[in-house]
Amino acid sequence: MKKILALASLALLAAAPVSAQQLEGQWTNYKKNVVVQVERCGAAFCGRVIQASEKAKAKARKGGTPNLIGTQILTGLTPVGEGKFRGRAFVPKRNIHATATVRQVSDDVMQVQGCVLGGLLCDSERWTRIIS
């Protein structure tokens, strides 16, 4: 019995980093006009913009974000189970912060949702991995 519990514990511990590592990498939004690098930031994950089209940069500037490149748009993402992570999102073109839920749909697709006003207003996008 002890052996079974020990093996089960090891299996759970081995499985946890795999799903977290899947979140790390470079992702692009559905318009393919922004690339975000997602990586570990301490005990959580964060994502910052590393590439953007001129149109995306202009929209961000108009919204109050002068330099889109380097802007951290995902912060404090921590796993909550079943391939989901929760944290905060920043929307540069609107200059707002929101609660974020990131759900790993597959190895190369994730759903990013941001909500404000206690979840009354939400928006989501599918991001596609371009580099792991």
pLDDT digits (tens, 9 = 90+) for 6-24: 333 333 333 334 345 589 9
pTM: 0.81
Taking Cα atoms as reference points, which of 104, 49, 107 lies closest to residue 80?
104
DSSP string across 12-48:
HHHHHHHHHHHH-EEEE-TTS-EEEEEEEETTEEEEE
Average pLDDT over residues 38-65: 96
pLDDT for 3 beyond 50: no
Helix residue spans in the chain (DSSP H): 2-23, 54-63
The pLDDT of residue 22 is: 82
Q: In Å, how far from its chain's centre is CA 46?
A: 7
- Examine the pLDDT at 124 and tell me if it is beyond 90: yes
CATH fold, domain 2-131, is: Lipocalin (2.40.128)
Q: What is the mean pLDDT of residues 69-75?
A: 97
Domain ranges of the chain: 2-131
3-state secondary structure of 8: helix
What Å distances lie between residue 110 and 23, 36, 73, 95, CA to CA?
8, 12, 15, 23
